Structure 1
Amino acid sequence: MSLLHLEGVTRTVERPDEEPLTILHGIDLEVDSGDRISVVGRSGSGKSTLLNILGLLDAPSTGRIAIHDRDVRTLSSAHRDRLRGSEIGFIFQQFNLLPGRTALENVMTPLLYAHGASFWRRESIARAMLERVGLGHRLDSKPDRLSGGEQQRVAIARSLVRGPRLILADEPTGALDLETGEAVMSMIDEVATDTGAALVTITHDPAIAARATRHYRLIAGRLFEGAEMTDDAAETPTVAVAP
C-alpha cells in the first residue's frame, strides 16, 4: 500500500480578464514509507503548488490523489484536516515560529490538536523531541533568543512531534549558512530514518537534492525523473512514472 499517490494531477487557476493559467501538468508520483525524494525546480516552476497538493492543503483541478489508497476526493474537509495533522509534517524555509512563545510551547502547539495520551503528555513529548534535536537546554528560550539554526531545529521538532508518516521539506536550509544547513539536513534524515517516514524535499539546491535516493525535476509544471535533466529536456519530455 502506497503512502501517497498522485495520478494525472493538474492545477489550473482562473485569472480575471485572462486565460486560465495551468501551473501543474499531468503529475504522476508515488511516495512510499521510507522514501527519500527530491524535487528540484526554478522559481515559478510550480514547486509551491506541488507542495500544497502533496500536503493536502490544496486540491488538484483534475487527476487523483490517494493517501493510504483512499481517494482524497471521498474524504470530508474535516477528515482531510485530521489526516494532514497526524500524517504530514511540514518544514519550511521560514521557520514560522510563534514569536511570543518559548521553544517548548512552539513544539507543543501541534499536540493541542492530538487525542488521548498524546494530548495529556504533550509537554513531556515536546521536551523529548527538543532533546532529540539537541535543544534540551533551550526549552524556555523564545525565537528572538535563538540562532537561525536553532530556530530551524525548533521548527523541525514541531513538525515531527506527532510522528508524521510523510515529511515535506520546502527549501529547509534556504535561510541557513552552508554548514548549519548540512547539519539540519542530516538531522531531518536521521529522524525520518528512525521513524520510517517518507521525506520529500523541494529545493533549488543540487547539493540538498543529492541526499535523496529518488530525484525529480519540475520544469514549467511538468515532473521529470532524473537529477541531471536540464531545461532542454522539456523539448522531448518523458513524464516521471514512479517505480
Structure 2
Amino acid sequence: MSLLRLEGVTRSVLLPDEGILEILRGVDLAVDVGDHVSIVGRSGSGKSTLLNLLGLLDTPTAGSIFFDDRLTSSFSANERDRSRGADIGFIFQQFNLLGGRTALENVMTPLLYATGRMFWRRRQVAMEMLDRVGLASRAQSIPEKLSGGEQQRVAIARALVRGPRLILADEPTGALDIETGVSVMGLLDDVAESSGAALITITHDANVAALARRHYRLDRGVLTPVDVGRVLALAAPEVTL
C-alpha cells in the first residue's frame, strides 16, 4: 500500500490575458512507507507547485491525490491541517528557524500543537531529537551562533520531532557547502530510514538527487523516472538544473 499516490495530477492557472498556464501535466507518482525518492528539475519546472501538492498545501486542477489510500479531496479543512501537522515534516533550504530562540526552543515549536503525553513531554522529546542529530550540546545556542550545517540539523530535528510519516525536503542542501550537504543528506536519510518515514527530496542538485533510491526528473511540468546514471549526467555544467 502506498503512503502517497498521485494519479494524473495537473495544475494550471488562469493568466491575466485569460490564457491557461499549465504548470504540472499528468503527474503519476507512488511513494511507499520508508521510500526515498528524489525529484530534480530546473527553476520554473514546477517543483514548488508539486511540493505544495505533496504537502497538502494546495489541490490539483485535475487528477487525484491519495494519502493512506484516502482521496485527499475528501478531507475537510481541519483534516488536511491535522494530517499536515502530524504526518508531514517540511525541511527547507533557508532553515526558517526562529531567531533569538534556542535550538531546543526551535525544535519544541511543533510540539506546542501536540496533545496528551507528547505535549507534556515536549522538552524531553525535543532534547532526544537534538541528541539524535548530534546537537544535544548546542541545545541552548541560538541560530545566529550556529554554523549552516548545524542550523540545517536543527531544522531536520524540528521536522522530525512529531514523528512524521512523510518528509519533504525542499532544496535541503542549497545553502550548504558540498561536504556539509553530503553529511546532512546522509543524516536525513539515516533518521528517516530508522523511523520508517518516506523521504522525498526536491532539488536542482543532481548529486543530492542521486543519493535517493528512486529518481525522477520534472521538466516543463512532466514527471518521468530516470536511472541514477542519467541523474548524474544532468549534473554536468552545460546542463545545470
Structure 2 length as normaliser, TM-score? 0.93
Letter in 2 for 1:159: A
Distance 2:88 2:7 in 1: 19
Distance 2:19 2:123 in 1: 51
User: 1:79 aligns to what?
Assistant: 79
Per-residue CA deviations over 1:35-80 (Å, capped at 9, x if unaligned) read 1101010110001110110000111111101100111111101101
Aligned-residue Cα RMSD (Å) equals 1.2
- Match of 2:140, SS state, is coil
Identity of aligned pairs, percent? 66
Per-residue CA deviations over 1:181-234 (Å, capped at 9, x if unaligned) read 011001001101101111110111111111111110001000011142799xxx
Distance 1:40 1:92 in 2: 15
User: 1:5 aligns to what?
Assistant: 5
User: 1:144 aligns to what?
Assistant: 144
Residue 139 of structure 2 is aligned to residue 166 of structure 1: no
Distance 2:177 2:22 in 1: 35
User: 1:30 aligns to what?
Assistant: 30
Residue 187 of structure 2 is aligned to residue 192 of structure 1: no
User: 1:155 aligns to what?
Assistant: 155
User: 2:239 aligns to what?
Assistant: none
Distance 1:185 1:218 in 2: 21
* Structure 1 residue ranges without an equivalent (≥5): 232-243
Residue 62 of structure 2 is aligned to residue 69 of structure 1: no
User: 2:92 aligns to what?
Assistant: 92
- Match of 2:79, SS state, is helix
Letter in 1 for 2:47: K
Distance 1:133 1:37 in 2: 21
Distance 2:103 2:14 in 1: 40
TM superposition shift of 1:17: 2.3
User: 2:237 aligns to what?
Assistant: none
Distance 1:185 1:39 in 2: 14
Distance 1:117 1:70 in 2: 28
List structure 1 runs of 4+ shifted beyond 3 angstroms.
none
Structure 1 length as normaliser, TM-score? 0.93
Distance 2:213 2:106 in 1: 32
TM superposition shift of 1:116: 1.0
TM superposition shift of 1:3: 0.3
TM superposition shift of 1:18: 4.1
- Alignment map for 1:109-148 (pairs within 5 Å): 109-148=109-148
Letter in 2 for 1:224: T
Distance 1:162 1:136 in 2: 18
